[in-house]
Structure 1
Amino acid sequence: MDRRLLPATTLRLFNRRFNSTVSTATVLQTLKPEPAALTIVNLDDHRKLFASVSTSKLLRSSINLGLASNETFVDFGMWVMNSRLMETSLVRDVILKTVKHTMFEHFCAGETTEEAGECVRKIHDAGLRGMLVYAVEHTGDNTGCDRNLEGFLRCVEFSKSLPPSSVSFLIAKITAICPIGLLRRVSDLLRWQYKDPSFNLPWKLHTLPIFSTSSPLYHTLQKPPPLTPEEELDLELAHRRLQKLCQKCVQESVPLLIDAEYTSLQPAIDYFTYSSAIKHNQDGNPIVYGTVQAYLKDAKERLFMASKAAEKLGVPMGFKLVRGAYMSSETESASSLGYDSPIHNSIDETHACYNDYAGFLLKRIANGNDAVVFATHNIDSGKLAACRARNLGIQKGNRRLEFAQLYGMSEALSFGLRNAGFQVSKYLPYGPVDMVMPYLLRRAEENRGLLSTSNIDRVLMWKELKRRIKSLEFGK
């Protein structure tokens, strides 16, 4: 993760502008949820929503969400994490212990595979499923990539010991199994070939469309040199790692979901994902899922092109649809190069695109094509997708449709969708606190755009806590 952050005041003002239309009463101006959606997903009955959550858990969650929504606290925490204080072992230990018992405990499933497994069992008892996320990323050499692969393989193997269907996906980042410098090189070469189709890439495997006419190509402004023999060997090693992981997931029937990254790296990530999907997504059931970031201006066209190309090949595709988590860094990068941001100019445009993509994918599910994970904390988007699914005749328990939220976020939406009969997963990152720190830093930054959801959760949690206190339900 790029830890060079904008100054706190600049970052805060930028995000406020982008998220200025978000409030607890937000209703999309472009695609409002149909009235029927309000009855499908009910978020009014706090007693029913949090029936499976203990009182102590509700109290801790309310406090942690309050801290995460305090901008002063978040700014200070991000400054500390990026400061030289972290270079002093004693201070670092104190900071990491503090993080462990606050943000880490709230947003992460534990430090070990066993702790993550216990978390999966707990949420499974509450009617939810777990996405296991061995939180490694941005590796610089083959030794580290080999080590990360072993961690992913252990995670898949461990999932067999958990209750059936309690694990919905294994999440992986290509940056954990391919050196990040090589991903940049491959992305540059793929971009240049899109500009100049005569540009030969002898190592390139069969894949789906990666770019559209509106894709950002400014990361590669001049013709890159071809891969060296050493780089081609490293690329082959990275492919072998991914194929070994895919084969393990096929063997254990655990779908593999590849997370998205910055636009500077995404072409290579899509290349790895799509070439593997073509090879392993067989028999009508996708095993390899890609991720589409709806805040990117070119996402709709790329999603349409990839879906149609896969359909022609007879390859079932799986997609996770997200809004996106790298807004500040993407905008800063484009501005430094003198280009417009690849991200939509307003949050309303991003909301509209997310719902538009969701409608497109739901129709494909209804027609027996593709599979989708709607990863959203936006209540209107969740309700709208639920309503559309019902209207399209997508039945409860359909394995091609999953909703997902981060662990520790949007609990009311997760439980509301669960109560409506949909499959719902929680994104469960785990690993040593210092290893998971890049993820926590992104959550801190991203949470600025999720304050409305956080506030709704806290309001409902406090209502339920008050109800339990009044009725003396301390033992729940």
Structure 2
Amino acid sequence: MIRRKIFNDTKTAFKLKSNVELDRAMFLFSMMSKQRLVTAGIFLTKLSLKLHLPVEGLIKKTIFEQFCGGITEEDCKPVTKEMYAENLHSILDYSVEGKKTEEEFDAALKKKKSLIEFAAKSNELPFAVFKPTGIGRFEIWEKLTEKISLSDDEKEEWERVKARVEELCETALKHKVRLYADAEESWMQGAADDLMEEMMKKYNKEGVYIFNTFQCYRWDRLQYVKDLHEKAKKEGFKVGAKIVRGAYMEKENARAKKLGYVTPICENKEATDVQFNSVMSYCLANLDDISVFIGSHNEVSNYLALQIMEDKNLAQDDQRIWFSQLYGMSDHISYNLAKKGYNAAKLLPFGPVRDVVPYLLRRAQENTSVKGQTGRELSLLREERKRRKGEPTKHDREEH
């Protein structure tokens, strides 16, 4: 049986954090546990940036350093190398959002390609990532998902979007770097699913290099994965499945209510947990055809995956199974998985402070809305701080 308490090892979880960093993390998570403070903080941050007030330094020293690796990929190198020394991999994510023009999308393509090439030269970077709306207008994905006819100009625009995705996939295959597409709102996701299925069909013949993300707070995802698996078996390709719970729940439910359609989101957290664990179990039961990337901060789901692996007598470092959490969160899961020899990675966002703010604000909101998440982080940080009382000088080094 799996040792049930491996995620309680705070010494391993926070080994790389100085006391100063532990204190900062405790402060941030205690702030994020207060809904009103988060709401007010988000409002003030947006207003300050809009008015060009000098708040970037404050953002950089607090929430940015907690959840981001740096401003450039070079900035991230000391962080990725330090984590890799603990057997923990990284996935660099240039987390600049909300771009609208063709020039910006071409620039994003160039950046993402360079990150695939960067990952190819680094053992610590096994994956690359892109966001569909980072390389094509949200509205074009939405129109295709909603089956709305495109104008001639939009048809040309869509061809350019497809060409960008294809170029990323070709680059990933050429450099033998796994690439996954992030999932976004359901009303644009259908077009992204179709395109990523096409890319898997083309590039996942021999190995699994192309992954799509499945948000398991959607009640239709288990059936979707089963249908995709059937197609893959018939048509001779392999599935790359990154599974997450999902990040747009409030927005999804609000839109469904406003427009009067059935929400695609599970009715409650328990139903979401069942959906996630069912999709994960299905993938782990079909590893000959599906490689699975488990993006979860939920201890029960991670323990379940470890139990299934043990029951199936799978190697801990089986390349068809990866675990991942966000940088700055759930270190008790990431570092303890890595220590036990599992394939574990941190998603490491980076980018100019001002441009990364939308990503950071979403992190703050998610921490507030995920029941128990912030409380668990806080209790583990406090436990580690208490444990260190007996060794006062060891962790009081300068911030790295």
| Residues in 2 aligned to 1:331 and 1:188: alpha-carbon distance in whole angstroms | 17
Does residue 1:62 correspond to 2:62, yes or no?
no
Establish whether residue 306 from structure 1 lines up as the match of residue 248 from structure 2: no
- Taking a change above 3 Å as real, the CA distance of residues 48 and 134 of structure 1, as seen in their structure-2 partners, is closer
Partner of 2:93: 133
Counterpart of 1:20? none
Provide closer, same or farther for how the CA distance between residues 232 and 254 of structure 1 changes in structure 2, counting only shifts above 3 A. Answer: same
Give the one of 81, 88, 110 matched to 1:121: 81
Structure 1's consecutive aligned runs of 4 or more residues displaced over 4 angstroms after TM superposition are: none
Greater shift after overlay, 463-472 or 290-299? Answer: 463-472
Matches within 5 A, 1:151-166: 151-162=111-122, 164=123, 166=124
3-state SS of 1:374 partner: strand
Query: Quick one: distance in 2 between partners of 1:333 and 1:81?
Result: 25
Name the residue aligned to 1:74.
38
Distance 1:51 1:43 in 2: 14
Partners of 1:312 and 1:293 lie apart in 2 by 24
Residue 256 (structure 2) pairs with residue 334 (structure 1): yes
Which residue of structure 2 aligns with residue 233 of structure 1? 156
**AA paired with 1:343?**
I
Deviation at 1:473?
4.4
1:170 counterpart (104, 113, 128): 128
Matches within 5 A, 1:396-435: 396-435=316-355
CA RMSD of aligned residues (A): 1.8
- Are the aligned partners of 1:41 and 1:416 in contact in 2 as well (CA < 8 Å)? no
Cα deviation for residue 425 of structure 1 reads 0.8
Deviation at 1:65, TM superposition (A): 2.2
How far apart are 1:132 and its partner, in Å? 1.3
Distance in 1 (CA, whole Å) between partners of 2:238 and 2:82 is: 32
Q: Could you tell me which residue of structure 2 aligns to residue 87 of structure 1?
A: 50
TM-score by length of structure 1 reads 0.79
Q: Is the 8 A contact 1:361 1:370 kept in 2?
A: yes
| Residues 1:104 and 1:475: Cα distance change in structure 2 (over 3 Å) | closer
Deviations 1:220-266 (A, max 9, x none): xxxx3x32222121111111111111111112211111000001110
Shift of 1:40: 5.6
Instruction: Map 1:268-283 onto structure 2 (within 5 A).
Output: 268-283=191-206
Aligned equivalents of 1:391 and 1:447: distance in 2? 33
Residue 325 in structure 1 maps to residue 242 in structure 2: no
Q: 1:169 to 1:114 in 2, by over 3 A?
A: same
Task: Supply the AA of the counterpart residue of 2:130.
Answer: A
C-alpha separation between the residues in 2 aligned to 1:451 and 1:103?
A: 20
Cα 1:475–1:416 shift into 2, 3 Å: closer
Unaligned runs of 5+ in 2: none
Q: What does residue 463 of structure 1 align with?
A: 383
User: What secondary structure is seen at the aligned counterpart in 2 of 1:265?
Assistant: helix
How far does residue 41 in structure 1 lie from its aligned partner after superposition? 5.3
Cα separation, 2, equivalents of 1:138 and 1:275: 25
The equivalent of 1:110 in structure 2 is 70
Change (3 A) 1:251 1:335: same
Query: 1:363 maps to what in 2?
Result: 285
Q: For residue 181 of structure 1, what is the amino acid of its counterpart?
A: E
Query: What is the TM-score with the length of structure 2 in the denominator?
Result: 0.94
Equivalent residue number for residue 206 of structure 1: none
Q: CA–CA distance in 2 between the matches of 1:295 and 1:277? A: 23
1:475 CA displacement: 4.3
What SS class does the counterpart of residue 268 from structure 1 fall into?
A: helix
Hey, what does 1:244 align to over in structure 2? 167
Q: Which moved more, 1:131-140 or 1:368-377?
A: 131-140
Cα contact 1:294–1:353 (8 A) shared by 2: yes
Using the TM superposition, give the Cα deviation of residue 161 of structure 1 relative to its aligned residue in structure 2, in angstroms: 4.1
Distance 1:48 1:297 in 2: 36
From 216, 219, 228, give the equivalent of 1:294.
216
- Residues 171 and 350 of structure 1: CA distance in aligned 2, closer, same or farther (over 3 Å): same
1:375 Cα shift? Answer: 0.6
| Residue 344 of structure 1: aligned partner | 266
SS of alignment partner, residue 426 of structure 1: strand
Say if 1:41 and 1:386, in contact at 8 Å, map to a contact too: no
AA at the equivalent of 1:168: P
Query: Given that residues 40 and 387 in structure 1 are in contact (C-alpha distance below 8 angstroms), is that contact kept between their aligned partners in structure 2?
Result: no
Report what 2:394 is aligned to. 474
Q: AA paired with 2:103?
A: T
Output the CA distance in 1 between the equivalents of 2:276 and 2:246. 10
